[in-house]
Amino acid sequence: MSVSPLRIVFAGTPDFAATSLQALIQSPYKPIAAYCQPDRKAGRGRKLRIGPVKQLALDNGIDVYQPLNFKSQDSIDALLQLNPDVLIVVAYGLILPQAVLDIPRYGAINVHASLLPRWRGAAPIQRAMLAGDKQTGITTMQMDKGLDTGEMLLQRECPILPTDSGVLLHDRLASLGAETLLETLAAIAADELVAITQDDSLACYAKKIEVEEAALDWSLTAEELALRVRAYNPMPVAHCSYKGERYKIRRAEAIIGDSSNPIAQVCAVDKLGIDVQTGAGLLRIQHIQAPGKRGLEVSDYLNGNAAIVLGELFDFS
C-alpha cells in the first residue's frame, strides 16, 4: 500500500477522536471525509452543539457526514461513493454493520483505549482505573462485526499513575492513540504489520458508565472510593450527600484511620482535607463542590461558610 494517494475516511465524534484527526491532518494521511454523530442539544439553552471532530473537519475543509445510523441504504451508498481505501474509527459511538466494514479496500481500523483483549467496550479508560490497573494503553485493530474483537495491529502501553484522574489519563491516551495510529498507517504502507488474533479467554467488558455509579458508598474501602473519585473526574463526577444536599468530589485520597468510627462520620475538618470514615480507612476529600457553588480546594472551602461539621455523618444507608 502506498502512502499517497491513500483515500482515508475518518469516523469519530468527541475530543479523544479529534486528537487523532488532528494528527492525520498534519500528516500525509489527511482524510477526504469525516463521519461523526449528529449534533446534540446541550447546555441550559438546549442549543445544537457541534462536536470536536465536526468542528475540526470543517475548519480544515474536510467534508462531514452525520448519518443517524447505517441502517438505510442511502447512508451506505454515500460511503461507497467516497471509495475509501481505509476507514479510521476512533470513538465514533455508532455500531458499524458488516456492510460498512466491507467497503474500504483495506478495511476499517479502530483506535481503542486499552490493551486488548482487556477492557473491550464503551468505557475502557474508567474501567481500567476502577479496577486498580497499573497500566493500560492503546490498541489499533482491524475491525470485525464483534465488539472490539478484531485482530490487533499495534499496541502501545501507558502507565496509570497514582496522581491520574480520568481526564489526565484520557488526554495522555488520546495523544498516544494518535501516535499509534500514524505508526499503524506507516506500517501498513510498508507492508510490515502482522495482525494478531485476540485471546477471548482474557477479555473483560468495559460497560458504559452510568451516573448512578458515581454516588459514593461509604461502606466501601477508602481505596475503592478514591479510585472512583479519580475515574469519574470529569464525568460523571463522584458525589455524596450531606444533610440531604449533594456535594461533588473531584479529588480525594485514601489514608489510614481509626476503624472504630461510625461509617460516614466526619473525622477531621482542616486545611488538609475532610476525612470521612469508610468501610476500611478514611477518605480524605481534597476538592469539593457544594450545591450551587463552584468547586474549591477544601482549604478554600473552609474559609467560607463551610457546612460540613466534625463528628457529623454524611448521608448513608
DSSP string, the chain: --STT--EEEEE-SHHHHHHHHHHHTSTT--SEEE-PPPEEETTTTEEE--HHHHHHHHTT-EEE--S-S-SHHHHHHHHHH--SEEEEES--SPPPHHHHTSSTT-EEEEESSSTTTTEES-HHHHHHHTT-SEEEEEEEE--SSSS-SPEEEEEEEE--TT--HHHHHHHHHHHHHHHHHHHHHHHHTT----B---GGG--EEPPPPGGGGB--TTSBHHHHHHHHHHTTTTT-EEEEETTEEEEEEEEEEE---TTSPTTBEEEEETTEEEEE-SBSEEEEEEEE-TTS--EEHHHHTTS-----TT-B----
User: How is domain 8-206 classified at the architecture level of CATH?
Assistant: 3-Layer(aba) Sandwich (3.40)
Q: In the prediction, which pLDDT does 1 show?
A: 38
* pLDDT reading at 243 higher than 60: yes
Mean pLDDT confidence for 63-79: 95
**179-222 pLDDT, tens per residue?**
999 999 999 888 898 999 999 999 999 999 999 999 999 999 99
Q: Which residues contact 292 (CB under 8 A, 6 or more apart)?
A: none
Mean pLDDT of the chain: 94
Contact 179, 156 (CB under 8 A): yes
Confidence band for 2, pLDDT divided at 50, 70 and 90: very low
CATH class, domain 212-301, is: alpha beta
Average pLDDT over residues 24-38: 97
| Average pLDDT of span 98-103 | 96
Task: Indicate the pTM of the whole model.
Answer: 0.94
Q: What is the mean pLDDT of residues 265-291?
A: 96
User: In the chain, which residues fall in CATH 3.10.25.10?
Assistant: 212-301
Residue 254 has pLDDT above 60, yes or no: yes
Q: Please give the pLDDT value at position 42.
A: 74
Is it the case that residue 46 has pLDDT exceeding 80?
A: no
Cβ atoms of residues 257 and 277 within 8 Å: yes
Amino acid identity of 224?
E
Q: Note the pLDDT of residue 299.
A: 93
Average pLDDT (124-140) is 98
**Confidence at residue 317, expressed as pLDDT on a 0 to 100 scale:** 64
Averaged pLDDT for residues 130-135: 97
Given this model, what pLDDT does residue 47 score?
81
Residue 44 has pLDDT above 80, yes or no: no
Q: Comparing 40 with 164, which gets the higher pLDDT?
A: 164
19-23, 45-49, 176-180, 228-232: range with lowest mean pLDDT:
45-49
Which of 288, 292, 284, 313 has the alpha carbon at shortest distance from 302? 288
- pLDDT for the residue 5: 61
* Segments of the chain assigned to CATH 3.40.50.170: 8-206
